[in-house]
Amino acid sequence: MNMCWRSVLTLALLATTTAYSADDRFQEIRNQIKQALRDTHTPSLAVAVAVDGKVIWEEAFGWADRENQVPATIHTMYSLASISKPITATGLMTLVEKGLLDLDQPTNDYLEDSAIVAHVGKASDATLRKLANHTSGLPLHYQFFYEDEPYHKPDMRESIRRYGHLHAAPGERYQYANFGYGIIDYVIQRTAKQSYADFMRNAVFVPLGMNHSAVNLPRELKSFQAVRYGEQQQPLPFYDFDHPGASAVYSSVHDLIRFGLFHLKQRTDQQKAILRDITIDRMQEPTANINDQLGYGVGWFNDTDEFGVRTVSHTGGMGGVRTRLVLVPDKNIAVAALCNFSTSLPLRISEDLLAELMPVYRERLRLHRVESLATPPVVAQPPFQPNPELLGKWKGYLHTYAGKRAVNLWIKPSGDIHIKVDKQLTMLLNQVRFDAGELRGVFASNVGTDDSNRRPYHVHLRAKLRGAQLSGSLTTRSLPGSRPGNALSYWMTLKKDDGHTNLFDGKSLKGWRIVTPFDFLNHGKVSVAQGTLVLDAGQPATGIAWMGELPRIDYELQLDAQRVAGDDFFCGLTFPVGPDYCTLILGGWGGGVTGLSNVNGNSAVENETTAFSEFENGRWYHIRLRVTSDKIQAWVDKDQIVDLETNDRKLSIWWEQEPVRPLGIANWYTKTALRNLSLQRLTTADP
């Protein structure tokens, strides 16, 4: 017969196991734990306290496996989540002490064919130390692989190819990066020539007497596991990661408190000195600043003032896991709290235990909790006001292992930001802020990778303004669900789109086609030499047409043109005007006519734009054509030759010029040279 959770939990609390009985000062905390487990339906909690090299209390409460009524004990193996990092770092440092690894060498020196790629800064600056203190430039990342799903983690070389990309210059910023510790465990494997799990057992767990500790759960230890429970109180299927060194260690509270003692340099009789004391000190020394109070060393957070004392610690949190190990080196105190449910209880209990041991901590903690009960004033978030350098349209690409995706970003003076990936719907960027030169926001889209698309997600933008570029991460973060999802980051780089497009690269006809129908059938040779595009004389015409993207209104064209030989028009520039087309003629009808063909059906020699200029063969002329919603204007050098209001006028082109559409240049029995062709959009269109 099934019993309700409360009844089952009561039985488990009666079956709590204790190796070192708590003295009277911990009795209230014991009662708090029991009540909290009942109130929150938390399956279990295990705690341990050590002072001056001795474990003075360790005890477990509740169920390791509620469905099978397996009580938690001090030897129950809990998933540690990120407390795996200081444990992995300990293994790393044994190899450093042996001279097999150097913390300040480039990580790529140890990776060979699976190298880290730098999009900012230099990959050679991404040292093992910077991986270990989260300043390598790797972005946010976590990825879970559940045993009941058809997704399997790739080989680590493939994972590095996909996600071993630096999105910030090494040393530029602190960014907690699980994948860095995934790379570290891979480096450990390659260096030690054994699996990460075997190395950690041989180099760390066995020498430190941690008999109920392992990477993941070997078959022989599965009976000791604490089942991980999800938010709906359901057992979560076993899951693995592509960053085991960051997250995959299991340990009992009995083992973990002894690991803490080792890092307090207070080894038990069963522990070997796998690291020198000076190495332990260097691991705890912060080499990355998180804020004025908090730093990170090699696997450890260092808090200079946690309620009046300095602490060295790490927490862990993911689906069905919440853990904390905290050391107070100046007081020779260590506290561990492990739970198989995602709850803040281990954090609060660890604080309560430290408060019982240190009066200054107790008083500061009390004041903090009193202050936190006060209702803070509601401060309205001010609307995003874009800096002038952010305004406008940005264009670029998102780079994923599955290929590139075009990205367009529009930042408006109103503060609204629209973003579009490939040909998907244009979306509004939400939760926008711009701090320390970084633009952040959230939107819905599809980045097109199988990894991300395993679960529904939102896309989180984090881009740094670097001169004329916005570059950084688009991170897909899974939406809340019955089990934890993923956060996967991809490199994005955008450039300010000032509307300027070079139409000629000076080396080839890239983007252009040679016109062949009708009067262009017997065209002259079209060639490129020394930055000049040459159209030899045709019989009668030679022309080229642009095949790239093109605005139809509000733009300006510029080019240099020269009549090399002949005596007719050397530049017949056909261009769009909204839905219509028109042609600017230079040097027609005997060599001197300029104007537009056609206006109200009349050619360039017979309408109000008709004018005459003397064009010398062999001389370069700078031509500028501006097309707006109400005007066509043109200049040769500094002289304006056309200023036509287009309202109520019918615009068209000669039938001979039809093949040159939508944008093209033609001549007539004349040899032409062209250079410096460019297009400038005059306004940034709305998405």
Q: 481 falls in which pLDDT band (50, 70, 90)? A: confident
Does residue 8 belong to any structural domain of this protein? no
User: Is 196 within 8 Å of 189 (Cβ atoms)?
Assistant: yes
Two tokens, residue 165:
């990309």
Give the confidence band of 683 by pLDDT, cuts at 50, 70, 90: low
pLDDT tens digits, 589-609: 989 999 999 999 999 999 999
Tokens of 39: 């109130």
Confidence check: pLDDT of 21 > 60: no
Q: What is the mean pLDDT of residues 250-270?
A: 96
For residue 206, the one-letter residue type is V
What is the reported pTM? 0.79
**Residue 433 belongs to some domain of the structure:** yes
Residues 231, 626: Cα–Cα separation, whole Å: 62
**pLDDT tens digits, residue range 262-307?**
999 999 988 999 999 999 999 999 999 999 999 999 999 999 999 9
Residue 519, SS3?
helix
The model's confidence at residue 10, banded by pLDDT at 50, 70 and 90, is: very low
DSSP state of 468: T
Strands, E, within 498-539: which ranges? 500-502, 512-514, 526-529, 532-535
Contact 340, 43 (CB under 8 A): yes
Contacts 24+ apart (CB under 8 A), 298-301: 298/89, 298/92, 298/93, 298/103, 298/129, 298/132, 298/133, 299/85, 299/86, 299/87, 299/88, 299/89, 299/90, 299/92, 299/132, 300/86, 300/89, 300/263
Give me the pLDDT at residue 112, please: 82
Which class for 522: exposed (0-12), middle (13-18), buried (19 or more C-beta within 10 A)?
exposed
Is the pLDDT at 19 greater than 70? The verdict is no
Task: State whether 219 and 288 are in the same domain.
Answer: yes
The domain that holds 677 is classified in CATH as 2.60.120.560
Residue 1 pLDDT greater than 70, yes or no: no
Is residue 473 scored above 80 in pLDDT? yes
Residue 260 lies in a domain: yes
d(CA 48, CA 59): 6
Contact criterion met (CB below 8 Å) for 667 and 537: yes
CB distance 116 to 183 below 8 Å: yes
> Is 661 part of any domain?
yes
Whether 532 and 674 have beta carbons less than 8 Å apart is answered as yes
pLDDT category, 13, cuts 50, 70, 90? very low
| Number of domains observed in the structure of the chain | 3
Tell me the pairing of strands 671-681 and 541-546.
unpaired
373, 403, 425 - which closes a domain: 373
- What is the distance between the alpha carbons of residues 232 and 320, in angstroms, rounded to a whole number? 10
**Per-position DSSP letters for 49-68, written without gaps between them:** EEETTEEEEEEEEEEEETTT
The DSSP 8-state label assigned to residue 307 in this structure reads: T
Q: How many secondary structure helices (H) and strands (E) does the chain include?
A: 12, 41
Instruction: Tell me, yes or no, whether 620 lies in a domain.
Output: yes
Query: 179 and 282 share a domain?
Result: yes
The residue written with tokens 């252009």 in the block is 512
Q: Are residues 242 and 366 in the same domain?
A: yes
Residues 340, 233: contact at Cβ < 8 Å?
no
3-state SS class at 5: helix
The predicted pLDDT at position 439 comes to 97
Q: What sign does the CA torsion over 596, 598, 601, 603 have?
A: positive
Structural domain contains residue 308: yes
Q: What is the mean pLDDT of residues 365-383?
A: 83
In the predicted model, is pLDDT for residue 9 greater than 70? no
- Percent of the chain residues past pLDDT 90, beyond the cut: 88
On whether the CB atoms of residues 54 and 19 are closer than 8 A, the answer is no
pLDDT digits (tens, 9 = 90+) for 119-144: 999 999 999 999 999 999 999 999 99
Give residue 681's pLDDT. Answer: 86
CB 16 within 8 A of CB 71: yes
- Tell me what pLDDT residue 186 has: 98
Would you say 494 and 394 are in contact if contact means Cβ atoms under 8 Å apart? yes
637, 587 Cβ separation under 8 angstroms: no
Cα(257)–Cα(252) distance, integer angstroms: 9
pLDDT value for 455: 94
* Phi, psi of 644, deg, nearest 5: -110, 125
Closest CA to 418 of 451, 446, 441: 441
Task: Please count the other Cβ atoms lying within 10 Å of the Cβ belonging to residue 544.
Answer: 25
Residue-level pLDDT at 15: 43
- CATH number for position 368: 3.40.710.10
- Residues 602 and 663 both lie in one domain: yes
Report the sign of the C-alpha dihedral through residues 148, 205, 185, 195, in that order: negative
Residue 479: CB atoms within 10 Å: 10
- Mean pLDDT of all residues in the chain? 94
Q: Which of 346, 373, 400 is the last residue in one of the domains?
A: 373
Q: Which of 56-65, 478-487, 659-668 is least confident?
A: 478-487
Residues 275 and 417 in one domain: no
Residue that terminates a domain, selected from 465, 497, 529? 497
3-state secondary structure of 485: coil
Query: Do 122 and 87 share a structural domain?
Result: yes
Q: What is the CATH number of the domain that holds 483?
A: 2.40.128.120
Please check whether residues 408 and 319 belong to one and the same domain.
no
**pLDDT at 24 exceeding the cut of 90:** no
Same domain membership, residue 414 and residue 341? no
Please indicate, yes or no, whether residues 183 and 317 belong to a single structural domain of this protein: yes
The per-residue pLDDT for 23 is 64
* Same domain? 235 vs 129: yes
Q: Is 566 domain-assigned? A: yes
Q: How far apart are CA 319 and CA 481, in angstroms?
A: 11
Residue length of the chain = 687
pLDDT digits 0-9 by tens, 360-370: 999 999 999 99
pLDDT on residue 376: 73
Q: Which of 22-31, 134-143, 417-426, 636-645 has the least mean pLDDT?
A: 22-31
Residue 427 φ then ψ, to 5°: -115, 155
- Asked, for residue 189, whether it belongs to a domain, the answer is yes
C-alpha 401/C-alpha 399 separation (Å) is 7
pLDDT higher at 16 or 612 = 612
Parent domain of 552: 502-681
| 385, 419, 455, 474 from 411: Cα distances, Å | 10, 9, 29, 17
Q: pLDDT exceeding 70 applies to what percent of the chain?
A: 96
Residues 490 and 506 in one domain: no
Residue type, 427: M
pLDDT, tens digit (0-9, with 9 covering 90-100), for 557-572: 999 999 999 999 999 9
Residue 617 has pLDDT above 80, yes or no: yes
**Could you tell me if 260 and 349 lie in one domain?**
yes
Convert the pLDDT of each residue in 150-179 to its tens digit. Answer: 999 999 999 999 999 999 999 999 999 999
Across 495-511, average pLDDT: 91
